[in-house]
Amino acid sequence: MSVYIVCLGIRFVKPSLSGYAGVVEGSEVCHAEWVQSWMLEAPQVKLPHTALTAFEVAWTTRDLSLLPSGMPRWLFLRWLEGQGVLFHGSPHDGLSELRPLLKEYNQPDEFSNRTGVYAASDGLWAMMYALRGPAATGMMDMGLRLRVGQDWSPMRYFMSLATDTPVGSNGRDLLGTGTVYVLSRDGFEPSAPYQHPGLGEVHEMHCVSPQRVRPLMAVAVTPQDFPLLVRVHDAARVRALAAVHPWGFPWLGT
């Protein structure tokens, strides 16, 4: 069962957490006028004390079998954010070492084009990379905060997948299983806020290390663990639009 929340034309999916006392399954997310309609926010979930205790024990022992049965893994990753760690999502399991990747990222900002091991301080954003399935031929994603006066907004998300074979409008059909690797912050440089011509001042919650990195823990994840809407896009169309308007993310207009 899934719970759907509709706000300003956005529909995102929350996996059911029935059976956990104290869990809020359907509080509406309020968006200020400056928030774009395609931006998603994580569901607001209040966990029982027993779940928080289980998270702490699982982290201390590095034993995922101690997590509450049926609890979506994104909630454990959200808790881990408070432990001062970083996250690297990958469709590949069993990695004992992460190595800098030599590739062309073709990002409009300089930081996102560095050669290195990338990691996010936000678990949900890392999950997008872990859950990209083998049938997906492209992905657009976002995990950032927006400047609002003197403060920063809550995290805003976006995920869309492309494929050579039409799958309709449900991008969740293109998700697969994967792993989120939990990393120490040592050796990582965080990205600084910058001015995005389309969104204003933003802070992307990612970091990069030029060195090899050994994970502290590996958290297996499945599509059922991911609580957000996944869109589908035409990769060729987006490439054409991005060539003309490189800062027009996510290129939803005609």
Residue 64: pLDDT band (50, 70, 90) is very high
Q: Which pLDDT does position 191 carry in this prediction?
A: 87
Residue 15 near residue 45 (C-beta atoms within 8 A): no
Decide which of 243 and 123 is more confident: 123
State how far the Cα of 224 lies from the Cα of 172, in Å rounded to an integer. Answer: 9
By the 10 Å C-beta count (0-12 exposed, 13-18 middle, 19+ buried), 104 is classed as exposed
What are the respective helix, strand and coil percentages of the chain, to the nearest 5? 20, 30, 50
Residue 59 near residue 80 (C-beta atoms within 8 A): yes
Look at residue 4 and tell me whether its pLDDT is greater than 90.
no
Number of H helices, E strands in the chain: 4, 14
Name the DSSP class of 57. H
Per-residue pLDDT, averaged over 113-135, amounts to 92
Q: 172-182 pLDDT, tens per residue?
A: 999 999 999 99
Residue 64 near residue 36 (C-beta atoms within 8 A): no
* Cα atoms found within 13 Å of the Cα of residue 101, Cβ hemisphere only: 12
Q: Which two tokens stand for residue 130?
A: 């872990």
- The percent of residues above 70 in pLDDT, for the chain, comes to 79
Look at residue 10 and tell me whether its pLDDT is greater than 50.
no
Q: Which two tokens stand for residue 146?
A: 């927006």
Decide which of 230 and 108 is more confident: 230
Q: 201-239 pLDDT, tens per residue?
A: 999 998 999 999 999 999 999 999 999 999 999 888 888
Q: Which pLDDT does position 198 carry in this prediction?
A: 81
Decide which of 53 and 28 is more confident: 53
Q: Which two tokens stand for residue 89?
A: 């999502």
Residue 108: pLDDT band (50, 70, 90) is low
Residue identified by tokens 């912050």 is 185
Residue 110: pLDDT band (50, 70, 90) is low
Q: Which pLDDT does position 235 carry in this prediction?
A: 87
State how far the Cα of 123 lies from the Cα of 59, in Å rounded to an integer. Answer: 15
Q: Which pLDDT does position 8 carry in this prediction?
A: 25
Residue 130 near residue 89 (C-beta atoms within 8 A): yes
Q: 24-48 pLDDT, tens per residue?
A: 333 333 333 346 888 999 999 999 9
Residue 5 near residue 42 (C-beta atoms within 8 A): no
State how far the Cα of 144 lies from the Cα of 153, in Å rounded to an integer. Answer: 9
What pTM does this model have?
0.81
